Amino acid sequence: MHGALPKALIVDTVIPDTIERFPWGDHMGMRQVAAVADAIDDAQTSLVFTNTRSQCEVWYQALLKARPEWAGLIALHHGSLDQEVRDGSNAV
């Protein structure tokens, strides 16, 4: 089987140093952007999971703002993306 190399899988959660009360509505966790970007820097590959499509898009933009050099290296994925985009097809 080609490409089937054993790989270590590390599942990590980035938790804030302090937990304060916050309203659950519209909470996006943006104060964690730097910590998440640092965690991504420490890994060769990463998947960042969010709860909603809008949160996915906000986090994508926040990570690009935090690390502009990642432009073209990171991508977002959610079920609302066009099928061709999700499949990686360049067909027009």
Residue 2's pLDDT band, with cuts at 50, 70 and 90, is low
pTM for the model stands at 0.70
User: Which residue did the predictor score with more confidence, 78 or 17?
Assistant: 17
What's the pLDDT at 92?
39
Q: Which percentage of the chain shows pLDDT scores above 70?
A: 76
For 22-84, the three-class secondary structure string (H helix, E strand, C coil) is CCCCCCCCHHHHHHHHHHHHHCCCCCCCCCCHHHHHHHHHHHHHHCHHHCCCCCCCCCCCCHH
Task: Name the band, by pLDDT with cuts 50, 70 and 90, for residue 91.
Answer: very low
* pLDDT, mean of residues 8-20: 81
The separation between the first and the last C-alpha atoms of the chain, rounded to the nearest angstrom, is 33
